[in-house]
Amino acid sequence: MAEGDAPMTRPSVPEAERLIGVKHPVLSHGFVVLVDYMGNDAAIVQAARVSYGPGTKTIRDDRGLIRYLLRHRHTTPFEMVEFKFLVRLPIYVARQWIRHRTASVNETSYRYSIAPDEFDLPPLESIRKQSARNRQGREEPVAPEVAERFRTDLERVTHDAYAAYLAALEAGVARETARTILPLAYYTQWYWKIDLWNLLHFLSLRLDAHSQEEIRVYAAELAKAVQAVCPIAYEAFDDFVLGSVSLSRKERIATRSLLAGNTPEKACADAGLPLSREDGKPMTTGEGVEFLAKLEGIRKPD
Ligand SMILES: Cc1cc2nc3c(=O)[nH]c(=O)nc-3n(C[C@H](O)[C@H](O)[C@H](O)COP(=O)(O)OP(=O)(O)OC[C@H]3O[C@@H](n4cnc5c(N)ncnc54)[C@H](O)[C@@H]3O)c2cc1C
């Protein structure tokens, strides 16, 4: 039977249906809700078979086909699946999130409505020292009194800002002007619609340890919805993207040296991957250090 001749029904995934409309809390006042979805694993296969023809069925089963498509970055069948979420998130997280340009967004406007008095107050354990290695990250805890002080300051400043916001509105200042006094810890809310391929791209960046922990917790909630709607595609993504390690040309040379029985340090030297600076001090960042970190990641069991 040719594609299109078979009767079609709207795909429905029981695990995903149970998620629709359910608020999953994130951070102090945020949430993620799956509002709707279109398609599932079968929609990816259906789209792929249009290009490969009905004969594909005999060559690969559905799981094998999805894994093949993802491995070989045959992207468009994954675009046939769509997700719509309602997300409530602090403005500082929204600023990172909105950089992903391949979604459709409709955001609450504080030109029209009044911002509720809800701001993100990080738990004490999230207030940690600036990372020495990663300029965008944090590392070990700060002293408890430093963390307490930061939380107290954040509460005081945001309460003062909110009081000034309300006073400005009361005095007749336009909402679009008054809102500029609110700090980034305040919450916003949006509908966010995206196709599976671009959502997987978002997840590959925002589940990664290099992303800020506050956006990672949102990404983890989105990932659960993807897993429910397309378990096979998510498994393939987990295997071939999240769980994979890529090697540069120099890293391949270093790996060859390792396979010949050399130490990681010798392998780095063979490949021209620097581990120490000109003054002999060990490097804390750079290609050599990143290669050793990749080896460490491979040694660590999943
Ligand atoms: C850990 C981390 C740190 C970051 N730090 C910073 C920072 O310090 N400063 C900063 O400004 N940003 C920063 N970003 C944001 C980052 O540079 C990207 O803007 C963001 O991750 C969105 O990625 P994207 O463009 O691939 O995604 P999307 O916008 O979703 O695009 C998906 C893909 O579509 C294609 N695409 C979309 N639009 C275009 C276009 N106009 N032209 C060509 N191709 C396009 C690209 O292939 C792109 O990868 C950071 C991101 C991460 C994850």
On average, the pLDDT of the chain sits at: 92
Model confidence pLDDT, tens digit, residues 114-125: 999 999 999 999
Give the pLDDT band (50/70/90) at residue 54: low
Model confidence pLDDT, tens digit, residues 169-227: 999 999 999 999 999 999 999 999 999 999 999 999 999 999 999 999 999 999 999 99
Helix ranges, the chain (H): 14-17, 41-52, 56-59, 62-71, 91-97, 144-170, 175-178, 196-206, 213-229, 231-237, 249-259, 264-271, 287-299
More confident residue, 54 or 138: 138
Q: Whose CA is nearest to atom 4 of ligand 1?
A: 211
Give the pLDDT band (50/70/90) at residue 252: very high
Ligand 1 mean position, distance from CA 263 (Å): 36
pLDDT of residue 284: 86
191: buried, middle or exposed (CB in 10 Å: 19+, 13-18, 0-12)? middle
Annotation says 128 is catalytic: no
Ligand 1 mean position, distance from CA 99 (Å): 6
Q: Whose CA is nearest to atom 22 of ligand 1?
A: 100
Give the pLDDT band (50/70/90) at residue 53: low
Taking phi first (over 0 means left), then psi (-120 to 50 degrees means alpha), and beta for anything else, what does residue 298 get? alpha
pLDDT at 95 over 90: yes
The b/e string for 204-225 (b: 16+ C-beta within 10 A; e otherwise) is eebbeeebeebbbbbbebbbeb
Q: Which ligand 1 atom minimizes the distance to the CA of 101? A: 29
**Residues in contact with ligand 1 (CB, 6 Å cut-off):** 99-102, 136, 198, 201, 205, 210-211
Q: Which ligand 1 atom minimizes the distance to the CA of 102? A: 30
Bridge partners (DSSP) of residue 187 are 90
Give the pLDDT band (50/70/90) at residue 52: low
Model confidence pLDDT, tens digit, residues 215-226: 999 999 999 999
End-to-end CA distance of the chain: 43
Tell me which DSSP letter residue 283 carries. P
Q: How far is CA 257 from CA 273, 275, 290, 291, in A?
A: 12, 16, 17, 13
Q: Whose CA is nearest to atom 2 of ligand 1?
A: 211
pLDDT at 259 over 60: yes
